[in-house]
Amino acid sequence: MILPRSFYFGDSRDVARNLLGQILVRETEEGVASGIIVETEAYLGTRDDAAHSYKGKTERVRALYGEKGTAYIYLIYGMYYCLNIASGPDGEPECVLIRALQPLEGMDIMARRRGTARFDNLCSGPGKLCQALAIDKSLYGADVTQKGPLYIVKGAAPEKIEATPRVGIDYAFHTKDALWRFIVAGNAFVSGAKKKRALQNSPQTIDENAKLL
């Protein structure tokens, strides 16, 4: 079942938690690629100085002022895309960043796009998952509550969730220490230090010598 628009209403921190365990699906001519969402971050719009929409409406963030469940996609470092889903209370330009997936379908497609054979490295970061699933600005404004090129379907809630500060927002004076990054506890596919710790007890690799991007 595709998650309905109502799923994305309410406190974006709750939406970010509730997205863990759900399944992100990307359909292309190459086939279907999907993964279980294992890491998210909440961005609270005009209440959050880390949010792109903190200072109000611009052309860049127009998707956040539309329907909830709309894809907001932007480029970082001039080369990596990041996927966010519009969320939050009605009228508020908030979103949830999808930071990592546990690959589920189309792993051969993902590996080809990513140029790596490491299973745990296919989608273990926001730029990596967008590359693996061929998500770019052409999907800006896509409705993920309808079947199409990009949508999210119901999965299973994780047993345990951990909350940490968000990544790469040292510029946010007021909210940089807020615990608005959410991960599936112990999952081997999350990004950064939590991933490394989880991998100590996990064999989820295909090629230990493959290049990390």
pLDDT tier at 153 (50, 70, 90 boundaries)? very high
% pLDDT > 70, the chain: 90
**Rounded CA gap, 87 and 96, in Å?**
7
DSSP class of residue 70 equals B
- Structural domain spans, the chain: 5-199
Task: Write down the architecture of domain 5-199 according to CATH.
Answer: Roll (3.10)
Q: Cβ–Cβ contacts within 10 Å for residue 40, how many? A: 29
Supply 199's token pair. Answer: 């991998």
Question: For 170-192, what is the mean pLDDT?
Answer: 96
pLDDT at 195: 45
Question: pTM (2 decimals)?
Answer: 0.90
